[in-house]
Structure 1
Amino acid sequence: YSAIIDVRSPSEYQDDHIPGSINLPVLSDEQRHEVGRKLHRADHFAGRRLGASLISNNIATIIQNYFMDKPKDWRPLIYCWRGGQRSNSLAYVLAMVIGYRVCVLDRGYLTYRNHIISQISSFSDCIKAKVITGPTGCGKTKLLHFLSSCGEQILDLEGLANHKGGSILGGIDLPQPPQKLFETRIAQVMRTFDFNRTVWIEDEAATIGKLHIPRKLWEAMLSSPRYFVRLPFNERV
C-alpha cells in the first residue's frame, strides 16, 4: 500500500494504531462525542445526519491538505474502529469520485487488535525465555542490554512500557503508553525473534507501572529458568 490511513479520532489513534499508519480523522474527538450523544439518545436519524455533515466537511479538508499531490496510482489502505462507516465514507470519495484504488480493512482496527492478541499468545507458547532476576539496583537492565549488544535476543518490557523500574536513579522517565499500544510494541518486538533461540527477559511483576504484562507472556515468564544477579548492597544503584 502507498499509505495506511487511520480515520478514527485523534484520541483513538493515540490509544493504539497500526504501526506506520497516519491519522486523518474524519471526525474530531469533540465531533465524535457530539454525534455519539445523539445516537445514544435514540435519535439515530439526527445523529447520522449530523455525522454526515461533519464527515463531509472534514473529508473536503483532508483532500485539500493531503491528497492534492498524490498520483493516480496511489493506493491507500483505510480503516476505522469496526463498523466501517467512517472508513467507507473517505474510501467512497477517494475511489468513486476521484478514482484511486482504495482498500478498506474489514472490521477495521478491531481486526488488527485481535491479530495482536493472537500473536502475543502464540509467541508466548513457543518462546524459550530465560529470566534475569535479583534485587532492585543490581543492574538487571544493564545486563539485559549488554546481552543484546552481544547478539542475544531480549524483550525489554520496562523499555517498551517507558518505565524506570524500582531504581531511584535508573531508566526511562517518560509517560507510559496506553495498554493497547504497549501490547502492540510487545508484538512488534516478538515478531523479530528466532524462537529456536533464547530470549532474555528481565524479571517483572505482573504489572509495570500502570500496565499489565499480557497473561500468556506472564505465565511463560513464570515457568522459565531464572538467573539471579547478586551485587553487594553498597554497589547497587
Structure 2
Amino acid sequence: MDSTCKDYKKIVIEEIPLIDVRAPIEFEKGAFINAVNLPLMNDEERHKVGICYKEKGNEEAVKLGHQLVSGEIKQERVDAWKKHLEEYPSSMIYCFRGGLRSQISQQWIAEVTGKEISRLEGGYKAYRNYLMGALEPAQQISKPVLIGGCTGAGKTTLLKNLENAIDLEELANHRGSSFGKHVTPQPTQINFENNLAAALIKHKNKAYRTMILEDEGRNVGRCNLPKPLVEFFSSGDLIILEVPFEERVLNTMKEYVIQSQERYIGTYQDKEGLNEWANYIRSSLGRVKNRLGGDRYKHVLDLFELAYQEQIYYSGCYEAHKNWIETLLRDYYDPMYNYQIQKSKHKIKFKGNIEQVLAYLGNNSLSF
C-alpha cells in the first residue's frame, strides 16, 4: 500500500521527523527544520541520471539509477534509513515532488523493515508552497507588538521570557547589526523562510492575542523578510525597553565579548578561537568605519586593541573591553537609535525596564 500524507500543519505542530532523499546539493539549497538528508542518490549519481534522462528519456534514466544504486551502495542507503527509523519511527519521507525517488525509497524501506513509512504528497515543492503561504499577512491572527530599545537593553533576553514571541534574530542566526555575525553561519534564505513559517504556524496554533517581535528592519544579516510581512509587523505598537547606560555596557560585553569568545573557543582551539573572535570584532568595526568617521573609528579600534592585549597578555580579565564598548554605544549606536525613533511613525505604547515591560505584556497579551 502506498502511504502518503499531506497534513503539512500536523508535520509542523508535532515536529514530525523527515527523511529528505534528495541529493545533498538540493538539500543544501533549502530543506526543512526537522529534516535529515539521507539521499537515494548522491550528487554525482543524480547528475548522471539527469543527463541520461535528457538524452535517452525516462525509462533509460530509471534503469541507470537502479544500476548506480545497487549492491553495497543500495545496502548502505537502506541501512541509513533503517537506522534513522529505529530512532525516529514516526518519520516521513520526501523527494522534490513526491515522485519516483521517494516511492523507491519507501518501497525499499518496506522490503527491509516490513514497515511502511509515509511520504509527503507533493514532496518538497508542495510542503514548501504550504510554508510560503503561512508567511502571508492574511494568515496571521495575532496583533504584532514591537520591542525597541538601545543596543544592550536586553531585548533578546526579554523575548526569551515570552512564550508568544517570535525571535527573528534566532531564526536568522544573526543579531541584526554590523556586529551581529555568529561563529556558525546563517541559514540559507530558503531555510530562514521555512523556519519562520514554521514558527508562525506554531504561534497561530496557540491562538495568542499578540505576537511579540523585536523592532527589526527587513534584513537580519543576509536573511530577508518578505516585504508584506515586514509591513504587517511594522503595523504594531512599539514598546521601549529602557535600561541604564552602565547596565547596557555590561550586557553588551557579556554577549559580544564573554559569550562570543566562549563560542569561538568552542569552535576553534583556545588561541585560534580568540584570534578568530578578535578578527570578527575588527571586521565588524570596519563595517561601520565610514559612519563612525576616521578619527572615531581609529579611537575605538585602538581601545579595542588595548583591551584585547590586556586580556590576552596581562590580566586575563574582560574589564578593559568596557572602554571601547562605552565609546561605541555613546558615540555611534545611541545617537543612531535616537534619530531612528524620532523619525519613526510607530506609536509608542509603553516604556519601562524589563520587569515593567514583562508585567505590561503579561496583562495585555493573553490568548484569545
TM-score by length of 2: 0.53
- CA shift for structure 1 position 152: 5.4
Percent of matched pairs sharing the same residue: 30
Residues 9, 154 of structure 1: CA spacing in aligned structure 2 closer, same or farther, 3 A cutoff? same
Once residues 70 and 145 of structure 1 are traced to their aligned partners in structure 2, the CA distance between those partners, rounded to angstroms, is 37
The equivalent of 1:126 in structure 2 is 141
The equivalent of 1:209 in structure 2 is 221
Residues 123, 23 of structure 1: CA spacing in aligned structure 2 closer, same or farther, 3 A cutoff? farther
CA contact (8 A) 1:59 1:90 kept: no
Say which is worse superposed, 199-208 or 175-184, in terms of deviation: 199-208
Give me the CA root mean square deviation.
3.4
SS of 1:102's equivalent in the other structure is coil
Which AA in structure 1 matches 2:186?
Answer: Q
Q: Deviations over 1:149-181 (max 9, x none)?
A: 2x353222122111232253x663431101121
SS of 2:211's equivalent in the other structure is strand
Asked if 1:165 corresponds to 2:179, the answer is no
- CA shift for structure 1 position 195: 4.0
The equivalent of 1:63 in structure 2 is 78
Once residues 153 and 19 of structure 1 are traced to their aligned partners in structure 2, the CA distance between those partners, rounded to angstroms, is 20
CA contact (8 A) 1:164 1:173 kept: no
Q: Deviations over 1:91-122 (max 9, x none)?
A: 22233576322322211111211221122326
Q: Deviations over 1:4-37 (max 9, x none)?
A: 3221112322333344333221111222122223
Residues 122, 101 of structure 1: CA spacing in aligned structure 2 closer, same or farther, 3 A cutoff? farther
The equivalent of 1:139 in structure 2 is 152
Query: 5+ residue gaps in structure 2?
Result: 1-10, 246-328, 335-368
Aligned counterpart for 1:35 among listed residues 10, 31, 49? 49
Once residues 84 and 197 of structure 2 are traced to their aligned partners in structure 1, the CA distance between those partners, rounded to angstroms, is 34
Within 5 Å, which residues of 2 pair with 1:186-201? 186-193=196-203, 194-201=206-213
Within 5 Å, which residues of 2 pair with 1:14-163? 14-41=28-55, 44-57=58-71, 58-67=73-82, 77-95=92-110, 99-121=114-136, 125-133=140-148, 138-139=151-152, 142-149=154-161, 151=162, 153-163=164-174
SS of 2:92's equivalent in the other structure is strand
Which AA in structure 2 matches 1:234?
Answer: R
Once residues 33 and 163 of structure 2 are traced to their aligned partners in structure 1, the CA distance between those partners, rounded to angstroms, is 25
Residues 223, 42 of structure 1: CA spacing in aligned structure 2 closer, same or farther, 3 A cutoff? farther
Which protein is richer in helix relative to its size?
2
Report the number of matched residues.
Answer: 230
Which AA in structure 2 matches 1:113?
Answer: R
- CA shift for structure 1 position 41: 4.2
CA contact (8 A) 1:35 1:48 kept: yes
Once residues 163 and 92 of structure 2 are traced to their aligned partners in structure 1, the CA distance between those partners, rounded to angstroms, is 36
- CA shift for structure 1 position 131: 1.8
Aligned counterpart for 1:175 among listed residues 182, 185, 202? 185
Residues 138, 18 of structure 1: CA spacing in aligned structure 2 closer, same or farther, 3 A cutoff? closer
Residues 77, 37 of structure 1: CA spacing in aligned structure 2 closer, same or farther, 3 A cutoff? same
Once residues 81 and 199 of structure 1 are traced to their aligned partners in structure 2, the CA distance between those partners, rounded to angstroms, is 33
SS of 2:144's equivalent in the other structure is strand
Which AA in structure 1 matches 2:234?
Answer: L
CA contact (8 A) 1:159 1:172 kept: no
Once residues 192 and 43 of structure 1 are traced to their aligned partners in structure 2, the CA distance between those partners, rounded to angstroms, is 43
Asked if 1:234 corresponds to 2:245, the answer is no
Query: 5+ residue gaps in structure 1?
Result: none
Which AA in structure 2 matches 1:200?
Answer: I
Report 1 or 2 for greater relative contact order, CA contacts < 8 Å, sequence distance ≥ 6: 1
